[in-house]
Amino acid sequence: MRTDPDLGPSGEVHYRLVNHQKLFSINATGAITTTTPLDREVKGHYFLIVEAWDSAVDPRRSRLTLSVSVLDVDDNSPVFTQQTYNVTLPENSPKDTVILQLKAIDADLVSNLTYGIRTRGSEPGIARLFRVDPLTGELSVLRVLDYEALSEPEATYTFTVEATDTGGSMPPGLASVTVRIADMNDFSPAFSQSVYRGLVAPNAFKGTIVTTVTANDSDPAGTPAGRVRFKVNQEAFPYSASILDVEERTGNVVTRVNLNEEPNLKFNLNGVARLTGLTFHCRFTDDIISYVNKVASVLRQSEEF
């Protein structure tokens, strides 16, 4: 409140706000009030310019700047930096492996956030598989997961995580987490038999099937770890590899050229069964012996490398 020592009209003081007139008002006594709710998260501080003047014919004026701080109240729930998290966990990862870092933000001035898996609406087994550190927000796996042993058809787990302001009264912030268990190469491809035999004419045309090799892999069918492919090792026996080949997907051992070989001529063919996109190989050898009127093909499985 401003006073004026003059008497009469010259002593009557009037007030007005120079700025923020939509948010604050001032009455004839100099009392300042808000005209609309203020949100500290939008703006936490205001500088009001107040002007006072008297009622004289030639009024005198005075201004002051009033600092107004908006006090914080708990009116915001925590918000995760992402509403949906998707993470891939390789099978057989060690227990306590950290797979995701959760992060939430509370717009209120003072907050004490804790994290956890929301039990309401989640499958009972989730809490036995995953854990969220309440202070750091790190999501970890509680035990070793084997892709082949999982009953879920897609080997995924989806659950809800929450961030709570332990000192506040607002509801927790929520986010969805999906963990996909990735199949790894657990098993070696193995040929279905130790010896393969086939017959072919010595003058067979290019593309004639001599025999077919098969290899099995115990990783799930249809996954990269379970797809077996075949190929010839071109460097082991270059000449033999120029005569014979193996089809990558079918395992058919075929002639690369039209045959015209002498009797009893022996070819050694070396090939591998490999997993798509992976480095593990299982080796086989192919001994091709040409006889009068026929060529016998003998494939023997050898060691892994």
CB 90 within 8 A of CB 183: no
Separation in Å, CA 252 to CA 197, 289, 298? 12, 17, 13
Q: Within a domain: residue 3?
A: no
For residue 66, what are the β-bridge partners? 48
Q: Is residue 72's pLDDT more than 70?
A: yes
In this prediction, residue 271 has a pLDDT band, given cuts at 50, 70 and 90, of low
The arithmetic mean of pLDDT across residues 271-296, rounded, is 41
Which one of 6-10, 79-83, 149-153, 294-298 scores highest in mean pLDDT? 79-83
Same domain for 293 and 206: yes
Q: What is the pLDDT of residue 124?
A: 78
Q: How far apart are CA 161 and CA 118, in angstroms?
A: 5
How confident is the model at residue 48, as a pLDDT?
Answer: 94
Q: Which among 182, 206, 228 is the end of a domain?
A: 182
Residue 3 scores a pLDDT above 60: no
Q: Has residue 289 got a pLDDT over 70?
A: no
Give the pLDDT confidence score for residue 198 in this predicted structure: 64
Whether residue 74 is contained in a domain is answered as: no
The answer to whether residue 2 is domain-embedded is no
In the predicted model, is pLDDT for residue 49 greater than 70? yes
Lowest mean pLDDT among 46-55, 60-69, 138-147, 233-242: 233-242
What the block records as the tokens of 69 is 């701080």
- Asked if residue 85 has pLDDT above 90, the reply is yes
Does 208 share its domain with 297? yes
When pLDDT is cut at 50, 70 and 90, the band that residue 52 belongs to is very high
Domains: count for the chain: 3
Structural domain contains residue 96: yes
pTM as predicted: 0.57
Which pLDDT value is given to residue 245?
83
Task: Verify that 228 and 281 share a domain, yes or no.
Answer: yes
Name residue, tokens 């598989």: 129
Tokens of 274: 């490999």
Higher local confidence (pLDDT), 290 or 71: 71
pLDDT of the residue at 80: 97
Distances in whole angstroms, Cα of residue 49 to Cα of each of 4, 16, 69, 91, 276: 19, 9, 14, 66, 74
User: Which band of pLDDT confidence, cut at 50, 70 and 90, is reported for residue 212?
Assistant: confident
Mean pLDDT in the chain? Answer: 78
CATH of the domain at 14: 2.60.40.60
Among residues 124, 156, 182, the one where a domain terminates is 182
Q: What is the pLDDT of residue 33?
A: 92
Q: Can you give the residue range of the structural domain that contains 101?
A: 79-182
What SS3 state is found at 225? helix
User: Which of the listed residues 146, 166, 182 is the one where a domain comes to its end?
Assistant: 182
In a domain, 1, yes or no: no
Confidence class of residue 120 from pLDDT cuts 50, 70 and 90?
A: confident
